[in-house]
Structure 1
């Protein structure tokens, strides 16, 4: 993709038409869309298998990772963090509560809304899932150089920050 970026920047320096620049950007965005679709597929292949009783559903893993990182959060805070409707988050957190992966607690700051906190079992399961996913990614990325890994991680971080804006 760096070659394509060089062509784009050369086009900008040479005063290419807006139409040509727009066509280039649309092609690059279409290429990115395709690659993102494939990432989802390959990620599933890389992390497929494992004991079913130990695996977490994607939504459970994402919610637990946020609770692990941020500490107790209300349904509203989780909904806002993921740009989801509160009813969706309510259904997803019900799975965590039933599985003993999270628990409801009074707001530590004295607010009215109860908060969700990850349990010891939730911490254990999220750590096991993270290890499993890391092993799958390590297999896929085993022949990448440290520079390629760094560049990819930085690009993904920038992409995710753009999503959260």
Structure 2
């Protein structure tokens, strides 16, 4: 579906018009994802879908403390703690003693957690493959490259300003 052709405000350039089209398409994608997820807040394993993000992080990046996990997914530690408790109850994540600090624990995927992660990843990849099976492979690869660039730019643009950088910014004014 093409972006609607609304009249542009006076004085805008082509870059603004392309950004407007991109914004429209991003909204369409987000809405389509929301529709696909509607009514599916719990996965086939009885675990909250949001908790799978935590499981994936642990599988892909290795065991870590709960606070470090919360930081890596840009989430509140209390929310992550609740979701981790569900993953532990489901047998997908376990707590292990931290070898660097015996008082602390590390979260790590269990064998069942690895199996569930790989099954979910396979299901997702098959769905994406089916949706894009008629695409030219070069277009699929280019889309991945562009989305990687966009995701990185979004993360950088919305990253919290470190306190030292905020102070430097005030001194410069």
Deviations along 1:9-28, whole A, 9 cap, x unmatched?
xxxxxxxxxx523xx54544
If asked which structure has higher relative contact order (CA below 8 Å, sep 6+), I would say: 1
User: After the TM superposition, which residues 119-134 of structure 1 pair with which residues of structure 2 at under 5 Å, given as runs?
Assistant: 119-134=110-125
Gaps of at least 5 residues in structure 2 are: 1-10, 157-173
Question: Residues 147 and 47 from structure 1, CA distance in 2 versus in 1: closer, same or farther, beyond 3 angstroms?
Answer: farther
Matched, 1:98 2:84: no
Higher helix proportion, which one?
1
Report the aligned-residue RMSD: 2.8
Q: TM-score scaled by structure 2?
A: 0.70
CA distance in 2, matches of 1:143, 1:47: 24
CA distance in 2, matches of 1:85, 1:112: 22
Deviation at 1:164, TM superposition (A): 3.0
CA distance in 2, matches of 1:27, 1:91: 43
Deviation at 1:75, TM superposition (A): 1.4
Gaps of at least 5 residues in structure 1 are: 1-18
Residue 158 of structure 1, aligned match among 109, 124, 149: 149
Deviations along 1:75-117, whole A, 9 cap, x unmatched?
1111111211111211221211111110111113336432110
Residue 136 of structure 2, aligned match among 145, 149, 156: 145
Matched, 1:69 2:60: yes
Q: Secondary structure at the match of 1:161?
A: helix
Residue 83 of structure 1, aligned match among 71, 74, 89: 74
